[in-house]
Amino acid sequence: MSRGLNKVMIIGNLGRDPEMRYTPGGRAVTTFTVACSRAWNNSEGERHEETEWFSVVAWGKLAETCKQFLAKGSLTYIEGRLQTRSWEDNEGKKHSRTELVANEMIILDRSKAPHAPEQAPETSADSDDDFPF
């Protein structure tokens, strides 16, 4: 059987401060959104711009690093994979969400990061694939 590839790389600005919580097993998970904009000129020369929003989830040590160093507006590089999860709410309504599960993060704009270190961290996620939703 052939192997597939699920790899996503984005550069953008955080739309909100990261939110961190812990699973019942004690593993850190941080969520945030990243806006990636692109601009182009149409055939008449008019300038257009569109923004795509990504929901990002980071686990373990990477989750703690994102919470510590990222803030709303931070320019950052995120690398990971897309994952879609589904659930049913209390009223029985079905929901689904596609998220970028991060395995690497590089801060590109240290001036927006709180408590920015001398050198922006480049952080990778743990290799543990235990993602309890």
pTM above 0.85, yes or no: no
Q: How far apart are CA 122 and CA 65, in angstroms?
A: 10
**Stretch 34-42: mean pLDDT, rounded?**
94
The amino acid at residue 103 is: N
Reading phi first (left if > 0) and then psi (alpha if -120 to 50, else beta), residue 70 is in: beta
The amino acid at residue 26 is: G
Q: What is the pLDDT of residues 64-123, one digit of tens each?
A: 999 999 999 999 999 999 999 999 999 999 999 999 999 999 999 866 544 544 444 555
Q: How far apart are CA 121 and CA 107, in angstroms?
A: 7
Domains annotated on the chain, with CATH = 8-117 (2.40.50.140)
Q: Are 120 and 107 in contact (CB under 8 A)?
A: yes
Q: How many CB atoms lie within 10 A of CB 37?
A: 10
